[in-house]
Structure 1
Amino acid sequence: MTRALRGIGLALSLSLPAAAQDLSHDILQFGDLRGWEADDHAAALEVFLNTCPDLQDADWRALCALGQQVPDARTFFELFFRPVMISDGRPALFTGYFEPELRGALRPDERFRYPVYREPPEARLSNPWLTRREIETTDAMRDRGLEIAWVDDPVELFFLQVQGSGRIRLDNGQMIRVGYAAANGHPYHSIGVELVRRGIYAAHQVSADVIKSWVRRNPDEGRELLFHNPSYVFFRRIDEVPPHLGPLGAMNRPVTEGRTIAVDPAHVPLGAPVWIEKDGEDPIRRLMVAQDTGSAIKGPQRADIFYGAGDAAGRAAGRLRDPGRLVVLMPIQRAYAMLTEQEP
Structure 2
Amino acid sequence: MLALRRALAALFVCAAMTAQAQVLHFDELEGWRDDDPRPALAAFLTTCDLLKAPEWGPLCALARDAGDTPESARAYFELFYRPVLIGTPPALFTGYYEPELNGSPVRTPRFAWPIYARPPELRDGVVYHSRSAIENGALRGRGLEIAWLEDPVEVFFLHIQGSGRIRMPDGRVIRVGYAGKNGHPYRSVGQEMVRRGTHRPDQVSAQSIRSWVRANPGPGHAMLDHNPSYVFFRKLPDLPPEKGPIGAMGRSITGMRSIAVDPAYNPLGAPVWIEKSGRQPLHRLMVAQDTGGAIKGAQRADIFFGTGDDAGDAAGTVKDGGRMLVLLPIDLAFALEAGL
CA distance in 2 between partners of 1:24 and 1:197 (Å) = 32
- The runs of 4+ residues in structure 1 deviating greater than 3 Å are 18-22, 122-127
CA distance in 1 between partners of 2:84 and 2:234 (Å) = 37
CA contact (8 A) 2:16 2:264 kept: no
Q: Secondary structure at the match of 1:58?
A: coil
Alignment partner of 1:201 out of 199, 202, 212: 199
CA distance in 2 between partners of 1:196 and 1:183 (Å) = 26
CA distance in 2 between partners of 1:129 and 1:68 (Å) = 44
Q: Deviations over 1:198-248 (max 9, x none)?
A: 211112211111111111111122222223332222111112211221111
Indicate the residue corresponding to 1:81 in structure 2: 81
CA distance in 2 between partners of 1:127 and 1:112 (Å) = 31
| Superposed displacement of residue 277, structure 1 | 1.1
| Superposed displacement of residue 22, structure 1 | 5.9
RMSD of equivalent CA atoms: 2.1
Indicate the residue corresponding to 1:128 in structure 2: 127
Indicate the residue corresponding to 1:105 in structure 2: 104
Alignment partner of 1:317 out of 301, 311, 315: 315
CA distance in 2 between partners of 1:316 and 1:129 (Å) = 33
Aligned pair in 2 of structure 1 residues 125, 187: CA closer, same or farther (>3 Å)? closer
CA contact (8 A) 1:261 1:289 kept: yes
Indicate the residue corresponding to 1:285 in structure 2: 283
CA distance in 1 between partners of 2:89 and 2:75 (Å) = 32
Q: Secondary structure at the match of 1:121?
A: coil
Aligned pair in 2 of structure 1 residues 55, 109: CA closer, same or farther (>3 Å)? same
Indicate the residue corresponding to 2:306 in structure 1: 308
CA contact (8 A) 1:272 1:329 kept: yes
Q: How does 1:209-248 map to 2 (within 5 A)?
A: 209-248=207-246
Could you state the TM-score of these two structures normalised by the residue count of structure 2?
Answer: 0.89
CA contact (8 A) 2:16 2:265 kept: no
CA distance in 2 between partners of 1:161 and 1:183 (Å) = 9
| Superposed displacement of residue 125, structure 1 | 9.3
Structure 2, gaps ≥5 residues long:
1-13
| Superposed displacement of residue 278, structure 1 | 1.0
Letter in 2 for 1:34: E
Q: Secondary structure at the match of 1:103?
A: strand
CA distance in 2 between partners of 1:192 and 1:327 (Å) = 27
Letter in 2 for 1:95: T
Q: Deviations over 1:65-89 (max 9, x none)?
A: 11113452111111111121222x3
| Superposed displacement of residue 20, structure 1 | 6.1
CA distance in 1 between partners of 2:126 and 2:289 (Å) = 28
Alignment partner of 1:152 out of 150, 153, 170: 150
Letter in 2 for 1:168: I
Structure 1, gaps ≥5 residues long:
1-17
Count of paired positions: 324
CA distance in 1 between partners of 2:333 and 2:93 (Å) = 24
Aligned pair in 2 of structure 1 residues 66, 330: CA closer, same or farther (>3 Å)? same
| Superposed displacement of residue 187, structure 1 | 2.7
| Superposed displacement of residue 339, structure 1 | 2.4
Aligned pair in 2 of structure 1 residues 163, 125: CA closer, same or farther (>3 Å)? closer
Aligned pair in 2 of structure 1 residues 334, 94: CA closer, same or farther (>3 Å)? same
Indicate the residue corresponding to 1:256 in structure 2: 254
| Superposed displacement of residue 316, structure 1 | 1.0
CA distance in 1 between partners of 2:229 and 2:39 (Å) = 38
CA distance in 2 between partners of 1:212 and 1:151 (Å) = 15
Indicate the residue corresponding to 2:10 in structure 1: none
CA contact (8 A) 1:179 1:236 kept: yes
Letter in 1 for 2:162: G
Alignment partner of 1:164 out of 162, 165, 188: 162
Q: Deviations over 1:291-338 (max 9, x none)?
A: 111222222221111101122211211111111111211111111112
Q: How does 1:56-71 map to 2 (within 5 A)?
A: 56-70=52-66
CA contact (8 A) 2:117 2:232 kept: yes
CA contact (8 A) 1:175 1:243 kept: no
Q: Secondary structure at the match of 2:55?
A: helix
| Superposed displacement of residue 90, structure 1 | 4.6
